[in-house]
Amino acid sequence: MAAPFWRTKSLQEMTTAEWESLCDGCARCCLEKLEDEDTGKVHYTNIACRLLDCEACRCSDYENRMSRVKDCVKITPEEQFFWLPKTCAYRRVSEGKGLEVVASARLRRPGDGA
């Protein structure tokens, strides 16, 4: 079986469809973050962006997000990924990690055990 594209291509080499398919819509990148000025470390809060629809787990105005939220970041292959959550596929692929662990973790439900 051929290796999946995220193992054989860099983020820059992916087609638009491949790139888009990496995002699982977790919306964790839409949580407010604090960056330590001294260390550059990013801390995630439990506060959602004002445009995040927490019921649907998606941006309520995706088309106009950049003009409505000044620090909304359009994630592109040229972007830096260190600030994204460790489970984010873009960050994992950029760090040379696979996606299989993330997939199995997401399939686990509360109460299923560790």
Binding residues for ligand SF4, per CB under 6 A?
Answer: 23-30, 49, 51-52, 59, 65, 69, 72, 75, 84-85, 88-90
In the complex, the smallest distance separating the C-beta of residue 84 from ligand SF4, rounded to whole angstroms, is: 5
State which residue, 9 or 51, has the beta carbon closest to ligand SF4. Answer: 51
In the complex, the smallest distance separating the C-beta of residue 55 from ligand SF4, rounded to whole angstroms, is: 13
DSSP string, 20-62: HHH-----GGGEEEEE-TTT--EEEEEEEPTTEETTTTEETTG
In whole angstroms, give the CA distance from residue 52 to residue 27. 8
In whole angstroms, give the CA distance from residue 103 to residue 25. 13
State which residue, 11 or 30, has the beta carbon closest to ligand SF4. Answer: 30
State which residue, 9 or 85, has the beta carbon closest to ligand SF4. Answer: 85
State which residue, 11 or 49, has the beta carbon closest to ligand SF4. Answer: 49
Which of the 8 DSSP states describes residue 11? G
In the complex, the smallest distance separating the C-beta of residue 60 from ligand SF4, rounded to whole angstroms, is: 7
In the complex, the smallest distance separating the C-beta of residue 67 from ligand SF4, rounded to whole angstroms, is: 10
For the record, the structure tokens of 19 come out as 């790139």
For the record, the structure tokens of 99 come out as 């996606």
